[in-house]
Amino acid sequence: MSWEIVIGLEIHVQLATQSKLFSGAKVGFGAQPNTQTTLVDLGMPGALPVFNEAALRMAVAFGTAIDAEVCKHSVFARKNYFYPDSPKGYQTSQMDHPIVGLGHLDIQLEDGTTKRIGVTRAHLEEDAGKSLHEDYDGMTGIDLNRSSTPLLEIVSEPDLRTAKEAVAYMRKMHAIVTTIGISDGNMAEGSMRCDANVSIRQKGQQKLGTRAELKNINSFKFIERAINIEVQRQIDILEDGGHVHQETRLYDADKNETRPMRSKEEANDYRYFPCPDLLPIEIDEAYIDAIRQSLPELPDQRSARFVSQLNLSPYDAGVLSASRGLADYFESVVAVCNDPKLSANWVTGELAKYMNQNNLEIDAIPLSALQLGQLISRIQDDTISGKGAKTVFDELWNNAGEVDAIIDAKGLKQVSDQGAIEALVDDVIAQSSKQVQQYIDAAADKRGKMLGFFMGQVMKASMGSANPGQVNALLKQKLDALC
Amino acid sequence: MTHKTLVQISKDLAAGDYSSRELTQDVIADIKARDSIYNSFISVSEDLALRQADAADARISAGTADILTGVPFAHKDLFCTQGHATTAASKMLEHFVPPYESTVGQRLLSAGAVCVGKTNMDEFAMGSSNESSYFGVVKNPWDLMAVPGGSSGGSAAAVAAGLVPAATGTDTGGSIRQPASFCNLTGIKPTYGRVSRFGIIAYASSLDQAGPMCQTAEDAALMLNAMAGFDEQDSTSVQLDTPDFTADLNLPLQGLKVGLPKEFFGPGLNPQVAECVMTAVKQIESLGAQIIDISLPNLELSIPAYYVIAPSEASSNLSRFDGVRYGHRCDQPQDLMDLYCRTRAEGFGTEVKRRIMVGTYALSEGYYDAYYVKAQRIRRLIKNDFARALAQVDVIMGPVAPTPAFDLGSNTKDPVAMYLEDIYTLSANMAGIPAMSAPAGFVNGRPVGLHIMGNYFNEAKLLNIAHQYQQITDWHLQTPATNPAKEA
């Protein structure tokens, strides 16, 4: 049987405001429990919320960035439920009147085509606190530092058809929110996380299947894994003649499985109603326009510019504009070495490889754009070979230092002295009479391949320091002269 | 000091007739001696009060005193007081000591007023008779068989008994005006947004508004001067300059247009109360006012609409009392659900539970549109009724309550009968307009108030009318002592 996967994502983006959504407490990660709280965040009697306008500006910026309807009238609503880390007994969110309405986002598929994904809405809401079950023997600690941290919840249409599309969508969202500066996008610290609504149906069928909601997925890798695991679970159930239950499930990364949340963690009826402590948000066209005008270059625009101005391939341009940090880094490298193509190769190649291996984001890498730019300049001016450059790169990554100093210390400088290289070439030809004879005897179109042996010998004799381009040209010239 | 007005006390203090410390000591001694009769206080804050009194005396001798400096007042136990227990008359908060002061409290303290204690009230301000308090019923100083009204019943009784010259109250559906009416006081509920709600334990956020309860309109104006003002900690507080509410007190009433809504004088109204009110209206007419018959056609709907909206908001506002961070917590909870259920079952009284249940039901999926949304629509109709009426007249007058103070225990078995008591007061909260009660006579020794309602932010006009009325009548000067017929 052939199944179609239907996925919708709800992405929670933590907004990069200085203070909380409804209080003056600082927003920050890793502080001592309950030190970043006010009466409002603690849900004390008589404490009242005051809306942080910075969050509004960020939500509007997001709406304009995805070409969505920005609502001139939006309303905060209370979502009522009891839980110890929900200090007021309700979460202040938006229900019937969100700040951002219908919009869309284009994602690039693996085959190079573009797919448009609908965005249903985005609304402002406050985060809950945290229950700490581990550190308090038999008891639960409550940390309300995160309470009332501003979130933008972005809800997609069920337009995604594969786990890879879901990842591409999430990455694109990440690129947009980091580019317009409304979030640090730090997934490890929970600044961006998502819930995935996953269902399957038989190909060609119109009606949606029963969905499961996978909660709180906090890395690109886990999105793909969680969705694939869940899809397989649903296929197994349906192919065994069973039914998928509509439920909320958690993805357990350690066991790589999804399992139902305890029913206590869910409430069925949140009794939403407009929050009487907060006035509706009323904004006008001028307010929205001013924010739209001040948007920075968006990822798609930047990618297009990389293609048209820097002659990058659309693929490289897409990869490099996928996060503001990476794109900024890349442009800084180009500014130093003035070689977009080589810079793109290094950033998407060696740098990306090291980042992946070390699980680091661009803002945490030990290598500055200036250093990489200098390194690339040394390839351009033939000081070092590409292979030598990789050694320098590794040294810069692991032990820091200065590019030229490392080249010197490691003896990586290429010999480009024509006379010195010629002497080496002559030596190798003199000592390899058998191979020279084979070269002469070979058909002209086979000789290119045979050049490799002589190259290897010369490079070995130079201890890797000879300029390979020069060696190649000289060898070819001298050997062909013998034929 | 018994039954001296705030204005008189302020003059005495300025003249050095007595110090604020002496006065405060007297007041506290008086409360200790006599309040066992009324039960109007939940707690007395002697140490804090004496410290405030000493600071006031220093200001008076330094010549930096405000008119309220050194004047004692009682604070409804719904206002959070820093370092002093704030209970909302509930077991839930019996031992709760806030580490912060309400904005109203802070403003009064900054003016130099001395808070002598926290007054009794209906639990979480839910009630019209002060019989739902965890700390016991309050008795009406005019008749110890009668209720003082509610929910600010303790504040009303404390002022009426002459224990303090002024008290704070809050009014969500009549909780300042009805006890003022029942206890022969001048009490005003300002325009919604005029007085900050920060630090006042919320009952129904879109309706709650704090105001003063005093003997005279002039005293109420002085208290309101201190209490009102924009507060950036309350998003619903209005960013508007606060006028001097005493400035217009002496304006003549010539040409004033007074509307009498026919719905305020229907079959449910006690005829003797109607007579008191109409006599007062006639006297105001004699001062040059013009009386105009008007209609507020949706008034009757204010009861069902209010008893959907207020409990809905309350059900959410009271969710924070969960036994996790502060307040009552049940013994030995077995698990989280047990903690919530027993804490709230033990901590809340019957009326509070009833309103939480009603509100939870009204907001539930499938009922929300039929109840909450419809009630909000009615609220808009009521607002429109007032807008139409107040385009035609300057103020609206009528009774505050259908009857004088009723007997203790007479309505406790029938919550709906109790809710009907609020018929004339609820609509001002629904519309957000200012409204007040001023003493207008007695029925069988129990006081009757005149209800005056006006346009948004027109508190000064209401106080002006009450003050002018008090220049030609002496109802407000009557005290249970001068009129002791029913004091047991």
CATH number at residue B165: 3.90.1300.10
B contacts of A89 (beta carbons < 8 Å): 316, 318-320, 322
Indicate whether B326 and B246 sit together in one domain: no
pLDDT in tens, A56-77: 999 999 999 999 999 999 999 9
pLDDT in tens, B155-205: 999 999 999 999 999 999 999 999 999 999 999 999 999 999 999 999 999
Query: pLDDT tens across B49-84, in order?
Result: 999 999 999 999 999 999 999 999 999 999 999 999
Q: How far is CA A64 from CA A68, A70, A141, A287, in A?
A: 6, 7, 40, 11
User: Does residue B400 lie within any of the structural domains?
Assistant: no
Interface of A with B (CB under 8 A): 39, 42-51, 78, 80, 82, 84, 87-90, 142, 264, 269, 271-273, 276-279
ipTM of the complex: 0.95
**According to the model, what pLDDT value does residue B402 have?**
96
Q: What is the mean pLDDT of residues A4-17?
A: 97
Active site residues of B: 76, 151, 175
Residues B247 and B330 in one domain: no
**From the list B232, B315, B325, which residue is nearest A87 (CB)?**
B325
Pick among A37, A82, A266 to test the B interface (most B CBs inside 10 A): A82
Report, as an integer, the average pLDDT of A401-423: 84
Range of the domain at B89: 6-254+462-477
Looking at the domain assignment, is residue B194 inside a domain?
A: yes
- Domain extent listing, chain A: 3-290, 297-409, 418-482
Residue A217 above 60 pLDDT? yes
CATH code of the domain made up of A418-482: 1.10.10.410
Partner-chain residue, chosen from B337, B340, B364, that has the shortest CB–CB distance to A271? B364
Of A50, A80, A276, the CB nearest to B319: A80
For chain B, the domain total comes to: 2
> Per residue in A122-154, pLDDT tens?
999 999 999 888 878 878 899 999 999 999 999
A76/chain B closest Cα distance in angstroms:
13
Q: Which of A44, A56, A147 to mutate to test the interface with B (most CBs of B within 10 A)?
A: A44
Which of residues B329, B356, B375 is at a domain's end? B375
pLDDT at B488 over 70: no
Query: Is pLDDT above 50 for B263?
Result: yes
Q: Is residue B29 part of a domain?
A: yes
Interchain pair A47, B199: CB under 8 A: yes
Which residues on B lie below 8 Å from A271 (Cβ)? 315-316, 360, 363-365, 368
Indicate if the pLDDT at residue B487 is higher than 50.
no
- Is B227 part of any domain? yes
Which of B335, B357, B375 is the last residue before a domain boundary? Answer: B375
- Quick one: B236 and B342 in the same domain? no
**A chain contacts of residue B88, beta-carbon cutoff 8 Å:** 45
* Partner residues linked to A122 by β-bridges: A100, A154
- Tens digits of per-residue pLDDT, A457-477? 888 888 777 888 888 888 888
Q: Which residue has the higher pLDDT, A413 or A351?
A: A351
B42 touches B143 (CB < 8 A):
no
Q: Which of B375, B391, B408 is the last residue of a domain?
A: B375
- Mapping DSSP onto H, E and C, the string for chain B reads CCCCCHHHHHHHHHHCCCCHHHHHHHHHHHHHHHHHHHCCEEEECHHHHHHHHHHHHHHHHHCCCCCCCCCEEEEECCECECCECCCCCCHHHCCCCCCCCCHHHHHHHHCCCEEEEEECCCHHHCCCCCCCCCCCCCCECCECCECCCCCCHHHHHHHHCCCCCEEEEECCCCCCHHHHHHCCCEEEECCCCCCCCCCECCCCCCCCCEEEEECCHHHHHHHHHHHCCCCCCCCCCCCCCCCCCCCCCCCCCCCCEEEEEHHHHCCCCCHHHHHHHHHHHHHHHHCCCEEEEECCCCHHHHHHHHHHHHHHHHHHHHHHCCCCCCCCCCCCCCCHHHHHHHHHHHHCCHHHHHHHHHHHHHHCCCCCHHHHHHHHHHHHHHHHHHHHHHHHCCEEEEECCCCCCCECCCCCCCHHHHHHCCCCCHHHHHHCCCEEEEEEEEECCEEEEEEEEECCCCHHHHHHHHHHHHHHCCHHHCCCCCCCCCCC
- C-beta atoms of B198 and A48 within 8 A: yes
Residue B447, in any domain of the structure: no
**Mean pLDDT to the nearest integer, B197-214:** 98
What mean pLDDT is reported for chain B? 96
The predicted model scores a pTM of 0.89
B325 in the same domain as B239: no
Distance from CA of A123 to the nearest CA of B (A): 20
Q: What residues of chain B lie within 8 A of the CB of A84, using their CB?
A: 322, 324, 336
Q: Would you say B163 and B27 are in contact if contact means Cβ atoms under 8 Å apart?
A: yes
C-beta atoms of B316 and A80 within 8 A: yes
> CA torsion angle for A106, A110, A113, A117 (degrees, to 10)?
-30
In terms of domains, do B339 and B240 share one?
Answer: no
Measured between beta carbons, which residues in chain B are less than 8 angstroms from residue A147?
none
Q: Are residues B234 and B324 in the same domain?
A: no
